[in-house]
Amino acid sequence: MNPSSACPEVDLGALTQALITGRFSVSPKRLVAPGPSVGQLQHMVEAAGCAPDHELLRPWRLIHIAASQREALADVFARALLERLPTASSCAQAQSREKAFRAPELLLAVALIDPPHRDVPETERYVAIGAALMNLLLSAHGMGFAAMLTSGHALRTACFAQAFDLHSGERAVSLFRSAHR
């Protein structure tokens, strides 16, 4: 069924435009509970799965980081800082640890680079994960949640890859953080 035929008074173009132009990022420091429910988060992930994806490779995966895993993530952030800056101060380490506790819901977006595909180069895979993340953000916005993508140096360290069991053909791209607006 055509969604516009079910509600002929709904202008889907205007609704889509309003959703896209009304979305904005909210600083992770301002993303406070409550976050999306399990069901709402599942709907957001399903929206991500509708992103354009040449050859249907689904060149990404999303890893949910539960509240109970935040202390371990804080340790990873601190180790990642020390991997990059072995003389980092204890204050800098504490600031790195604090990032693990920003936002009640947290997903790690991972790009899948391998196996190679003759028709889908690595750059196109990053475009696909970008589209999936935009769908995730728009879905969150449409449900009344604030969200932001964050990355940073920690995601590109060996200890971060090890902590999330990322294989040589996988790259941590960003953290999706969400909370009620």
Q: What is the DSSP string of 157-173?
A: SHHHHHHTT--TTEEEE
Structural domain boundaries, residue 167: 47-180
> What CATH code is carried by the domain that includes residue 56?
3.40.109.10
pLDDT tens for 19-44 read 999 999 999 889 989 999 999 999 99
Give pLDDT, residue 156. Answer: 96
Residue 16 lies in a domain: no
Structural domains in the chain (count): 1
pLDDT tens for 43-59 read 999 999 999 988 878 88
Query: Residue 48: which H helix or E strand, with range?
Result: helix 38-48
Specify the DSSP class assigned to residue 69: G
Residue 23 lies in a domain: no
Residue 110 lies in a domain: yes
* CA pair distance 176, 32, nearest whole angstrom: 14
> CA-CA-CA-CA torsion for 153, 155, 156, 160, nearest 10 degrees?
120
pLDDT over 90 percentage in the chain:
77
